[in-house]
């Protein structure tokens, strides 16, 4: 649980979710389901709810939501794009005489983008908290 989330045990106070919409937007973090009610983000676990307020509702403005509420996702995507492109370019230049240069560079770039993107995301997430 992060510092900005409120934990509400289900046996103490069941939350009425009548007007909240179930959503796939957001990180589940082990929750069974998650809901949104405006800027309120509710994660339902077996024994509790974890609740926090986002600055921006991602259903209304996804990019601004990423910028203000989840910048680590953008950092991860940027890291993946830049890292993958750099490795692709490097491998393709080094193997320019190989008949499999493009395929090798593509696979290497994709693998690098996964690794660099995840690393960038993880570091940004740690810096955020």
Please check the confidence at residue 8 and state whether its pLDDT lies above 70.
yes
pLDDT of residue 3: 54
pLDDT of residue 1: 47
- C-alpha dist (Å) from residue 35 to 9, 47, 72, 103: 16, 16, 21, 42
- Closest to 75 measured CA to CA, from 67, 85, 87: 67
pTM for the full model? Answer: 0.77
Q: Give the H/E segment covering residue 89.
A: helix 71-94
Please check the confidence at residue 36 and state whether its pLDDT lies above 70.
yes
Phi and psi at residue 115, in whole multiples of 5°?
Answer: -65, -50
- Mean pLDDT computed over 91-116: 93
Answer for the pair 35, 23: CB distance below 8 angstroms, yes or no: yes
pLDDT of residue 128: 80
- Mean pLDDT computed over 55-61: 93
Mean pLDDT score across all residues of the chain: 91
Strand order in the sheet with 21-22: 6-9, 48-53, 40-44, 33-37, 21-22
């Amino acid at each position: 649980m992060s510092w900005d989330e409120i934990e509400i045990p289900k046996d103490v106070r069941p939350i009425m979710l009548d007007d909240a919409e179930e959503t796939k937007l957001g990180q589940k973090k082990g929750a069974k389901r998650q809901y949104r009610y405006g800027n309120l983000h509710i994660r339902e676990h077996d024994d509790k709810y974890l609740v926090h307020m986002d600055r921006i509702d991602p259903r209304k403005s996804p990019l601004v939501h990423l910028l203000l509420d989840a910048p680590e996702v953008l950092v991860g995507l940027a890291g993946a794009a830049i890292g993958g492109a750099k490795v692709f370019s490097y491998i393709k230049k080094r193997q320019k005489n190989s008949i499999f240069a493009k395929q090798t560079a593509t696979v290497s770039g994709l693998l690098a983008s996964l690794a660099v993107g995840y690393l960038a995301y993880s570091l940004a997430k740690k810096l955020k908290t």
